[in-house]
Amino acid sequence: IPQLCKQPLVYPITTIPRIFHHPPDTLPARKHDPKSRPDYKIPVIDLSGDRAAVIDQVRRASSTLGFFQIINHGVELSKINGLISAIKAFNEQPMEIKSQFYHREMGHGASFQTNFDLFQSRAASWRDTLQVRLAPISPDWNYVPEVCRNEVAAWEGEVIKVGDELLGLLSEGLGLDKNKLKEMTCLDARMMVNHYYPYCPQADLTVGITSHTDPGVVTLLVQNEVGGLQVKNGEDDWIDVEPVPGAFVINIGDILQIMSNDEYKSVQHRVLANPCQEPRVSVAVFLNPANRENIYGPIPEIVSSEKPPVFRNFSLTDFLTRFFTKELDGKSLINYYRL
């Protein structure tokens, strides 16, 4: 447990409402034996290294754990910390201010809510989320809280730069031209989710986010120093994603696993309920194809008689509709499209 978790806690609540109680058989074990093997660590990849070596590191991480962290990506630490601080400041405003933004509709490109799958899930998870659609249609910025509006708007430019570089590395890792995924509009639809995980007085009864895979192409996440993010490795093992100052956490989404014909892996991950006095704050941007009516499936250039397609084609509209009408759980969505 981080040192900041050992500070005295003074909070007005000591129990959580029943709606947040998850079935006991779905709750993560809080204690697990420390693992020392290399495959129990999330790789940290230095983008300033030799490009061929970086491509190989990205390919290997994407083909196994489906998660890695990147450093020396060109985004200043002050910008990351400024964004995290702004999201934290919004969530710690008085309730009468925050409640003005609380709704579940995305018609204006922004919403503030607890769980997007609240009406499909068996229990709520202990977090709040400010969600902002960045592209292809910009949000109505009046619906983005003023206290973090400038930081959210500025973050899009940083994500485009890092996302462009990342998609190039992932494309080349598949043996494709570096611009292949970008030409498939995989950088052109961007959704930002800002998660705030406050202290939970009964962290053993709930979770921050249930185990799931991300539906899109790739996810770029920054986080503060409070841990809790875990990645599934094998049947029962979970790896902690230790916060690295200034790093982006990268994970492969379901669509890229399908497009890569199973070369890259979209892996289950979760966030534990926060037992710490300091809140956990994370900002994720999901990169998706922009054209929802296009047909997607394994990229033709990487399919052959030796490696036939293992997924069927689908429209992005069908794919995302299925994702948003089910509970956030496991890999059931990607398995639906498997041949």
Comparing 236 with 127, the larger pLDDT belongs to 127
Mean pLDDT of 249-254: 97
2 pLDDT more than 60 = no
pLDDT at 120: 64
CA pair distance 329, 210, nearest whole angstrom: 7
Dihedral, 238, 242, 248, 251 alpha carbons, nearest 10: 0
Lowest mean pLDDT among 201-205, 268-272, 291-295: 291-295
- Phi/psi class of residue 185: alpha, beta or left (left: φ > 0; alpha: ψ in -120 to 50)? left
> Tens digit of pLDDT for each residue in 199-233?
999 999 999 998 999 989 999 999 999 999 999 99
What number of CA atoms fall less than 13 Å from residue 233's CA on the CB side? 20
> Tens digit of pLDDT for each residue in 77-107?
999 999 999 999 999 999 889 988 887 677 8
Comparing 239 with 28, the larger pLDDT belongs to 239
17 pLDDT more than 90 = no
pLDDT at 1: 40
179 is in which domain, residue-wise? 41-336
Give domain status of residue 30, yes or no: no
Comparing 60 with 4, the larger pLDDT belongs to 60
Asked, as a colleague might, if the bond just before 136 is cis with ω within 30 of 0, I would say yes
Give domain status of residue 325, yes or no: yes
pLDDT at 116: 65
User: 266 by DSSP, 3-state: which?
Assistant: coil
Residue 237 belongs to domain with CATH number? 2.60.120.330
pLDDT at 35: 46
- For the sheet with 207-212, list strands across it: 207-212, 269-272, 229-233, 237-240
Q: In this structure, are residues 254 and 330 in contact, taking their beta carbons and an 8 Å threshold?
A: no
Q: How confident is the model at residue 75 (pLDDT cuts 50, 70, 90)?
A: very high
Q: Which residues contact 56 (CB under 8 A, 6 or more apart)?
A: 173
Give domain status of residue 7, yes or no: no
pLDDT at 319: 83
Nearest to 154 by CA among 132, 137, 169: 132
Domain count, the chain: 1
pLDDT at 3: 45
Which CA distances in Å does 55 have to 71, 172, 259, 262, 302?
Answer: 14, 7, 18, 18, 17
User: 84 by DSSP, 3-state: which?
Assistant: helix
275 pLDDT more than 60 = yes
pLDDT at 67: 98
Comparing 113 with 239, the larger pLDDT belongs to 239
Give domain status of residue 36, yes or no: no
Q: Which residues contact 191 (CB under 8 A, 6 or more apart)?
A: 131, 132, 133, 134, 216, 285, 286, 288
Q: What is the mean pLDDT of the chain?
A: 89
Q: How confident is the model at residue 241 (pLDDT cuts 50, 70, 90)?
A: very high
> Tens digit of pLDDT for each residue in 127-168?
999 999 999 999 999 999 999 999 999 999 999 999 999 999
pLDDT at 124: 84
Report the 10 Å Cβ neighbour count for 136.
12
Pairing of β 67-71 and β 44-46:
parallel
- Phi/psi class of residue 173: alpha, beta or left (left: φ > 0; alpha: ψ in -120 to 50)? alpha
pTM recorded for the entire structure: 0.91
Q: How confident is the model at residue 39 (pLDDT cuts 50, 70, 90)?
A: low
Tell me the DSSP string of 167-209: HHHHHHHTTS-TTHHHHTTTTSEEEEEEEEE---TTTTS-EEE
Give domain status of residue 259, yes or no: yes
Mean pLDDT of 246-274: 96
Q: How confident is the model at residue 38 (pLDDT cuts 50, 70, 90)?
A: very low
Dihedral, 114, 116, 117, 118 alpha carbons, nearest 10: 30
Give domain status of residue 26, yes or no: no
108 pLDDT more than 80 = yes
Distance of CA 213 to the CA centre of its chain: 9
pLDDT at 34: 44
Q: How confident is the model at residue 329 (pLDDT cuts 50, 70, 90)?
A: low
Give domain status of residue 134, yes or no: yes
* Sign, CA torsion 132/136/137/140: positive
**Buried/exposed 312-333: b ≥16 CB within 10 Å, e otherwise:** eebebeebbeebeeebbbebeb
Residue 330, token pair as written in the block: 């496991």
Residue 312, token pair as written in the block: 């069927």
pLDDT at 114: 81
Lowest mean pLDDT among 123-127, 213-217, 330-334: 330-334
Give domain status of residue 148, yes or no: yes
Backbone torsions φ then ψ of 110, nearest 5 degrees? -155, 145
CA pair distance 188, 164, nearest whole angstrom: 10
